[in-house]
Amino acid sequence: MKAKRLKTGDTIGIVAPASPSETLKAERAIKHITDMGYSVKAGKSVYSSRGYLAGADELRASDINDMFADDEISAVFCLRGGYGSQRILDLVDFERISSNPKIFMGYSDITALLNAIYQKCGLITFHGPMGGDFAGGLEKRTKRAMKNILESTEPAGELPNPVTPGVVEEGKASGKLAGGNLSIVAASLGTPYEVDTRNRILLLEDVFEEPYSVDRMLTQLKLAGKLKSAAGIILGDWGNSEPEEPEKSLSLEEVFEDIFKGLGKPVLKGLKIGHCKPNFTVPIGAEVSIDTCSKTVCILESAVE
């Protein structure tokens, strides 16, 4: 299932399914999105706060449900990540989403919703910029990539990565894209919303995680069979993940070698996807390919109609 493409003048709903944001930052994000030629309707969660959450679980979930039910809304963008998306999965009305398919975009903690909506509804979702990114003004390559995939009914093609990706394991593969933030993918295991990696291209990225922590979560995925069942793996950005005591730690590159070498499927690292600039938008649930010979990731189908 694909949402209708985004057009100038369309109304974008802003929601905060996870942690709260400063009012000033939210207002800056709304202004920037408006300056791009869209109208904006903000949900109640955008200006709500309950500890580390953007309001009560029921409020955050109803914001999502209401945005999908609102005929004026063409797309739903998330304000920020943090924590809290998993808490509302049982409150999200997936039947309503299926009946009213729309663009839904975010990353980081929003990974829980991106994969749940795709797996429960079959609707392609988008791992891409959030309110915090818009608040500071989107980096030009980030904006170009986002508009290319949300506004065009043509396949986006090769991701224009500014640096040549590294190869961890050789090969070629294609499949539907799944995954996102490693911490959230790992936390989904054993739940009704467990990320399905069978014959999928699995995307993994994270930020502010020591190598031992990345090792632990990747090992959990490996022991759960999630890496073996995937067709290929894309490793996005891993900002601020250097060890505090390098002399007492493996490097992140050594962790990747230990976990992925010998899997017998392609693994590329260093894609600008996630907590980084640029942050390329990619479609969860759309057909993508990975080729370690050309060191490319390509989006093979349109993500909107």
Residues serving a catalytic function are: 108, 205, 275
Max intra-chain CA distance, the chain: 57
Give the C-alpha separation, 57 to 110, whole Å: 14
Sheet holding 296-299, edge to edge: 157-158, 296-299, 287-291, 172-181, 201-205, 232-235, 267-269, 166-169
- Token couple for 9: 């003048």
What's the chain's length in residues? 305
Q: Nearest to residue 237, comparing CAs of 260, 266, 259, 208?
A: 208
- Token couple for 153: 């009914």
151 C-beta neighbours (distance < 10 Å), count: 14
